[in-house]
Each structure stands twice: as structure tokens, then as C-alpha cells.
Amino acid sequence: MDLRGPTSQIIMRAKRSLGQNFLTSEKIVADIVGAAGLSQDDIILEVGPGRGILTGGLLKNSKKIIAVEKDDGLFDFLREKFAQEIESEKLILIHGDILDPRLNIPRLNKGGYKLVSNIPYNITGKIIRKFLSAKNRPEMMVLLLQKEVAERITAKDGKESLLSISVKAYGKPKYIKKVSRIFFSPKPKVDSAILLIDEISQTFFKNFPEKEFFTLVKSGFAHKRKKLLNNLKEIGLEPSRIFKEMGLSENIRAERLKPKEWLELAKKTKSRYS
């Protein structure tokens, strides 16, 4: 496709409504591919391929790519740019919204895939939650996302958040590297980062329901300035004795608890009040 014409310029223009910031650096593509440890046996899901710079790098280093693009113009552009790869079925290009529950991606039902994407800032949390809690969850995620979000997810003990607990309950997040805003078009107001989420599984919830765990965690983080004890009292719990059993101060805040402590608290709370 000739990118010099007026129609192509319209197609390639980023849409704020879709949170589009196109990656422009082949070096960053190499860093993402390296973080994913790709091989010619890997099946990759890419969300929002955009102009296809990451798609090109993934195609060179994996068995098959399944790319989901919502933007009409970009979908047509990608279909022409990667016509040969689509014909050979090395690339499966799907036109749709990755967050639409009606969207069916048959190949993913078999499992055994990696999610590698430069995801839109405005749906980062939704995408992470969707795939970590999915029945056919990926074995690994490598995401290019907002630097602040990557830092929150990889927070050390004492600075946890609902987001970090939600990720650590399913896998091991690792901050790979900062990516300057200058490597995007249009240039966003903030820097990005490469985040790896490895060893994704449901082992954490082997003996406790996910839904009940997150109901408690969400209640604990409901009012950030309040003590955890008071937040839990608001949902009808009196956990003072449980706190004492666990060696927790009654003044502790939700951000101080590690994922395993949240799980222990959830189990003890359920046992006490069921």
C-alpha cells in the first residue's frame, strides 16, 4: 500500500477514541520479542496491531500470529500489508473488538499461546483482567503499556494496589524496561514500559473461589485512606480476632498486605462467617 496518498494518511492517523499511539522503533520491537523469549513453535495473540511494526517482528520469530484490530482503516491497511502472510495462514487477521464477549477466536480455545501487544492505554486494565481470568488464559503476557501502570503492577511489598494484587494472583509480573514517549506517533504525554507477566496459572485459586477472593480485596481497597479493618467493617465483618491470629496490626492499610496474606484473610473470613 502506498502510504503517501491522502487516503492512507487518513487511515494511518491515530484515533484518540481508541487510545492509539503507534510504536515507531524497531529496537523496541526487538526488546519486546526478546522479553517474550519467542520460538518458531509459539502461537501469538496481538491486540491492536496498528500499523504492524510489532506484527512484523512477531512474524519473524514465531509460528503463527493471531492479530485483532478494531479500527476499520487499519484493518484494511494490515490486510494489504501482510497479504502474503495471511494467504499462507501464518497471520490470522481478525476485525473486531477484543473486549467484545461475542468475539470468537477459535485457535485460542486450544490454549498454549502468548499475548504480546502494544495495548491502548485506555483499555489496559480491562485487557489484563480479561485474559488473566479467562478459561483459555495465555501462558505469558508481554505488554507495552503506560510506565506508571507497569510500576503499579510490579509494586513491592507495602505498596500494593487492587491492580497489582489482581495480576500477582495469576502470575509473576516483571518490569523489563522503560520506553520513552519519543518512540511513538503521535507522541503521548507519558512514557511507556515493557511488562512481562510470566507463569500464568490458576494455582493460587486451587482451594478458594476467585470471585470471593476479589470481593474481599475490592472491599479492602474501597477507601484508600481508611484502615483495612474499617473498610472490612463496612461490609459487615468484624475481623479484629482474625487480624490478631495473622499478626496484623489493626492500623494496617490494604496496600500493606501481600497476595498470600489476602488469601489467608479470605479463607479465615469465609470460615468464620460461613
Numbered residues of the known binding site for S-adenosyl-L-methionine: 21, 23, 48, 69, 97, 118
Length of the chain: 274
Residue that the C-alpha cell 496481538 belongs to: 46
Cα separation of 110 and 173, whole Å? 24
- Cis peptide bond N-terminal to 186, omega within 30: yes
Query: Strand pairing partners for 64?
Result: 43
Query: Strand pairing partners for 196?
Result: 142, 174
The 140-146 sheet, strands edge to edge: 91-95, 64-69, 43-47, 114-118, 140-146, 192-198, 172-179
Residues in binding site: 21, 23, 48, 69, 97, 118
Asked if residues 23 and 53 have their Cβ atoms less than 8 Å apart, the reply is: yes
Asked if residues 46 and 29 have their Cβ atoms less than 8 Å apart, the reply is: no
Cα separation of 10 and 116, whole Å? 27
Q: How far apart are the first and last CA of the chain?
A: 63
